[in-house]
Chains A and B, each alone.
Chain A
Amino acid sequence: MPNRQSRLLRDWQGYLYISPWFIGFIVFALGPILLSVFMSFTRWSLLSTPQWIGLDNYSEILLHDPLVGKSLWNTAYYVLFSVPLGIVLSLALALLLNQKLRGMSIFRTLFFLPSVTNLVAVSILWMWVFNPEFGLLNRVLALVGVAGPLWLQSETWSKPALILMSLWGVGGGMIIMLAALQGIPAELYEAADLDGARKWRKFLHITVPMISPALFFNLIMNMIGSFQVFTQAFVMTASSGQGSEGAPNNSTLFFVLYLYKKAFQQFKMGYASALAWILFLIILIFTLIQFRLSRKWVYYEAGGRS
């Protein structure tokens, strides 16, 4: 039987079927990667011919450009708060939804909805929510006697505003956690009940290990996505028309926003390519660190890796 199958499957035609992907890989991935390495060593304004300048772009980025440090700090700030808060909130929502109660699917839909909408429309909505005088948030705060901050117009509060907005989109992560929770065999809890285990111990010693692969997946995806935050900042933070994105005083100039401005507003293609490689390295290092740390806390059932 396996013999017959393998004879059936040994077939050069397979190359034909995967060729669309392979051509796409060469043209849209491998080629651009090699070109990008080359471009990062040049000065190039798109119109001129590229001029080889060796490591100058990299030394400028690492040593002399103050906006690089600023945008790295902004991005780190965003990642550091948005990712853990997002994970905790999505887990909390999933735990709440993982009860056998009526109407759960309605609540699930409500929490999930914001995460699958259009980010530009949502960004404009939140600009209005964050409006210092007439926005929803400060109106609500005024009801409880708090004078809300200027949010997007304040250097201190602009990043917290974007982090708060990101928490509105935790629905996707919540769905993944919920599926993981629902995959935990009930016998595990029954056995723990017989031993008289407390709720908190069951959560720590059964729930967390059993959903640790989903937690880890969310952590990685959320982290990579947050390092690349762009659209919200681009749409919400232009104080005075094109070119002013990242206001006030560059407090929302995230790394990818800076990269975009260098490439597509100032047409410094070589410099922007070097920025892209720096970003790639940063994301790679943090992802590898997370994978290394995951050996200590992520639990895969035997054969559960499929």
Chain B
Amino acid sequence: MNRSRRTPPLFVSLRLGLSYLLLVSLSLVFLTPILWMISSSLHSLEGVFAVPFRWIPEKLHWENYRDAMTLIPFGRYLLNTTVIAFAVIVGTVFSSTLVAYGFSRFRFWGRDKLFALCIATMMLPGQVTMIPLYVFFARLGWVDTFLPLIVPAFFGSPFYIFLLRQFFLSIPYEYDEAALLDGASRFRIYWQIILPLARPAIATVVVFSFMGAWNDFFNPLIYINSFEKATLTLGLNSLKAQIIGSGQTQWHILMAASVLVLIPNLIVFFLAQRHFIKGINVGGLRG
């Protein structure tokens, strides 16, 4: 009761110290597995099994990274994954912005019901559609190609459509009207007014669809069979199967390979952290 408006200074600094103590120890808990991974990746085989563990190896074994890259065709997988991710981003941005433009800038019969349907498909668990889709792509002869991983992205994705539509609605209609009076076509308004103004929202879509394609494991797992067509995550998993199945596990090599796969994630994360936060909150704030 007595600490209503003025709190004694000692109490404030005590609380401050306690907050920092908690934050620092919790972030150490969160950070330790990552440090453990990096440290292990630079050890020798004896080093990772040494007791007690040396967090900084006496000699840094950078050759683990070279070994990891030769055990699997790392360059090939990096190329495959990049090609797929790039195609997915292009497809997602084009289709989702067009659809969001349609839902936000035109009035036509059934529009709101169709939009509700679009949102509702977000709720559908992928397990229900994955088996018929697999059969469908198998009939098309697309199994063991990149096509099942890429083509669906060209038909818009409900979450991105929703995110972009919300953003487009915040752009004043007066811009469209002025352009129409000047004789611009609807497509030109989309291309020259809406898209440039929506750059922040599009950046969020790019970041999210990149991460989605880069980290996807399930779809490559069921569609890609050939060794040389694998993506990074698939290749990493087969390296794991190969190493675990062979006597003493070479954890230092596995950790080096895992670090290599994580590096692009970390780069994108640090470059675009605010887009992550924005994209996550678009979902969250809807409640």
With contacts A217-B283, A242-B241 taken as known, whether A139 is within 8 angstroms of B53 at the C-beta atoms is yes
> What is the chain A residue whose CB lies nearest that of B173?
A5
13 contacts between A and B (CB under 8 A): A11-B106, A13-B186, A28-B155, A33-B124, A114-B34, A128-B37, A136-B33, A176-B281, A179-B284, A217-B286, A238-B244, A263-B134, A300-B287
User: Which interface class (under 10, 10 to 19, 20 to 34, 35 or more) fits A?
Assistant: 35 or more
Q: Are B132 and A216 in contact (CB under 8 A)?
A: no
With contacts A99-B19, A113-B269 taken as known, whether A126 is within 8 angstroms of B33 at the C-beta atoms is yes
Contacts of B198 in A (CB 8 A): none
Interface of A is mostly: helix
Contacts of A96 in B (CB 8 A): 19, 22-23, 26
A196-207 vs B, CB cutoff 8 Å, 1 = contact: the mask equals 101000000000
In the complex, A81 has a CB within 8 A of chain B: no
Please measure, in the bound complex, the distance between the C-alpha atom of A273 and the C-alpha atom of B26, giving whole angstroms.
43
Q: Are B222 and A18 in contact (CB under 8 A)?
A: no
Q: Are A180 and B127 in contact (CB under 8 A)?
A: no
Q: Are B233 and A11 in contact (CB under 8 A)?
A: no
Contacts of B156 in A (CB 8 A): 20-21, 24
Contacts of B27 in A (CB 8 A): 107, 110-111
Among candidates B102, B177, B214, residue contacting A15 with C-beta atoms closer than 8 Å: B102
Q: In the complex, given contacts A99-B19, A101-B16, A117-B215, what are 20 additional A-B residue pairs having Cβ atoms less than 8 angstroms apart? A: A15-B102, A18-B99, A21-B95, A21-B156, A25-B117, A110-B27, A112-B277, A116-B269, A120-B217, A120-B233, A120-B237, A125-B255, A128-B254, A136-B36, A179-B284, A196-B4, A216-B287, A241-B241, A264-B134, A280-B124
With contacts A21-B156, A117-B265 taken as known, whether A280 is within 8 angstroms of B173 at the C-beta atoms is no
Please measure, in the bound complex, the distance between the C-alpha atom of A110 and the C-alpha atom of B286, giving whole angstroms.
26
Please measure, in the bound complex, the distance between the C-alpha atom of A4 and the C-alpha atom of B177, giving whole angstroms.
9
Interface residues of B in 207-261 (CB under 8 A from A): 211, 214-215, 217-218, 221-222, 232-233, 236-237, 240-241, 244-245, 251, 254-255, 258-259, 261
Q: Are B280 and A101 in contact (CB under 8 A)?
A: no
Q: Are B128 and A27 in contact (CB under 8 A)?
A: no
Contacts of B276 in A (CB 8 A): 112, 116, 175
Q: Are A269 and B16 in contact (CB under 8 A)?
A: no
- Min distance, Cβ B9 to any Cβ of chain A, angstroms: 16
Q: Are B287 and A27 in contact (CB under 8 A)?
A: no
Q: Are A11 and B237 in contact (CB under 8 A)?
A: no
Among candidates B106, B114, B233, residue contacting A9 with C-beta atoms closer than 8 Å: B106
Interface residues of A in 102-139 (CB under 8 A from B): 107, 109-114, 116-122, 124-129, 131, 134, 136, 139
Q: Are A179 and B285 in contact (CB under 8 A)?
A: yes
Q: Which residues of B come within 8 Å of A, CB atoms?
A: 1, 4-5, 16, 19-20, 22-23, 26-27, 30-34, 36-37, 40, 48-49, 51-53, 95, 98-99, 101-103, 105-108, 111, 114, 117-118, 121, 123-136, 138, 152, 154-156, 158, 161, 173, 176-177, 180, 186, 190, 211, 214-215, 217-218, 221-222, 232-233, 236-237, 240-241, 244-245, 251, 254-255, 258-259, 261-262, 265-266, 269, 273, 276-277, 280-281, 283-287
Q: Are B265 and A17 in contact (CB under 8 A)?
A: no
Among candidates B131, B133, B190, B233, residue contacting A118 with C-beta atoms closer than 8 Å: B233
Please measure, in the bound complex, the distance between the C-alpha atom of A252 and the C-alpha atom of B97, giving whole angstroms.
41
> What is the chain B residue whose CB lies nearest that of A126?
B33
Please measure, in the bound complex, the distance between the C-alpha atom of A101 and the C-alpha atom of B258, giving whole angstroms.
35
Please measure, in the bound complex, the distance between the C-alpha atom of A279 and the C-alpha atom of B126, giving whole angstroms.
11
Please measure, in the bound complex, the distance between the C-alpha atom of A76 and the C-alpha atom of B18, giving whole angstroms.
37
Among candidates A9, A97, A280, residue contacting B128 with C-beta atoms closer than 8 Å: A280
- Min distance, Cβ A192 to any Cβ of chain B, angstroms: 10
Contacts of A184 in B (CB 8 A): none
Please measure, in the bound complex, the distance between the C-alpha atom of A36 and the C-alpha atom of B105, giving whole angstroms.
35
